[in-house]
Chain A
Amino acid sequence: DTAVSQTPKYLVTQMGNDKSIKCEQNLGHDTMYWYKQDSKKFLKIMFSYNNKELIINETVPNRFSPKSPDKAHLNLHINSLELGDSAVYFCASSPSNGANPFFGPGTRLLVL
């Protein structure tokens, strides 16, 4: 199936831990994104990569570090997790920068 996939779908962890979320798209898109959706459904962009190059880096703590090994993958590593990091994290991709993104299924992160 052509899609944007993310693993894991659910992530429950303790404060202070380090965790990673993986994302892969097989749509042949050049641009990939990470979005965060909080409990009030507000969807906010965190990072945007175009052909493995960082394009957008919104004001997020430097505990969050994206890694793009190739243009089909964009992983998100989070250090020293905090309670406020609990949210749904969506990976997305688009054919080019600024085109409407196609979203993955989301990773529901709960920090205890």
Chain B
Amino acid sequence: QKEVEQNSGPLSVPEGAIASLNCTYSDRGSQSFFWYRQYSGKSPELIMSIYSNGDKEDGRFTAQLNKASQYVSLLIRDSQPSDSATYLCAVSSGSARQLTFGSGTQLTVLP
């Protein structure tokens, strides 16, 4: 059974701080890794994808992947109240490249 685990939170950070969101996965053969943001009552939207070990930066967001440790993280620099949402980690694996989601981490950025 493929599993993707995240701390459910809630995680609270002050405005301007760095928010760090973590995710571990069980399938060593996983190929692709994604972070989605979901505002309350809305649908998930893709904010980052990462496919190889290391860091990938996009604006205030940095995704980090360590396949040996089966660990992927998302850093949000200069956090803003508008970043308050649930962040879902998703991992693609298997011949069908099925996407498995974690249960999400609820982030609150305090003004």
Q: A41-B104, A42-B103, A100-B34 are in contact. Are A90 and B43 (CB under 8 A)?
A: yes
For the complex, give the distance between the alpha carbons of A42 and B90 in Å: 11
Q: A40-B103, A41-B86, A41-B104 are in contact. Are A98 and B46 (CB under 8 A)?
A: no
Chain A interface, number of residues (Cβ within 8 angstroms): 20
Nearest residue, chain A, Cβ from B40: A41
Label chain A's interface by main secondary structure. Answer: loop
Q: In residues 21-60 of chain B, which contact A (Cβ within 8 Å)?
A: 31-32, 34, 38, 42-46, 49
Residue B88 at the chain A interface, CB threshold 8 Å: yes
Q: A43-B44, A43-B88, A90-B43 are in contact. Are A98 and B101 (CB under 8 A)?
A: no
Residue A48 at the chain B interface, CB threshold 8 Å: yes
Q: A40-B103, A43-B88, A45-B98 are in contact. Are A98 and B43 (CB under 8 A)?
A: no
Residues of the A chain whose Cβ atoms lie less than 8 Å from the Cβ of B99: 45, 98, 100-101
Nearest residue, chain B, Cβ from A4: B43
Residues of the B chain whose Cβ atoms lie less than 8 Å from the Cβ of A40: 103
Residues of the B chain whose Cβ atoms lie less than 8 Å from the Cβ of A45: 98-100
Q: Which 8 A-B pairs have CB atoms at the shortest separation, nearest pair first?
A: A98-B97, A103-B43, A43-B101, A41-B104, A42-B103, A100-B34, A100-B46, A103-B44
Return 27 A-B CB contacts under 8 Å, by A number.
A40-B103, A41-B38, A41-B86, A41-B103, A41-B104, A42-B103, A43-B88, A43-B101, A45-B98, A45-B99, A45-B100, A48-B98, A55-B96, A56-B96, A56-B98, A90-B43, A97-B96, A98-B92, A98-B97, A98-B99, A100-B46, A100-B49, A100-B92, A102-B46, A103-B44, A104-B43, A105-B42
Q: Using a CB–CB distance below 8 Å, which chain A residues touch chain B?
A: 40-45, 48, 55-56, 90, 97-106
Q: Using a CB–CB distance below 8 Å, which chain B residues touch chain A?
A: 31-32, 34, 38, 42-46, 49, 86, 88, 90, 92, 96-101, 103-104
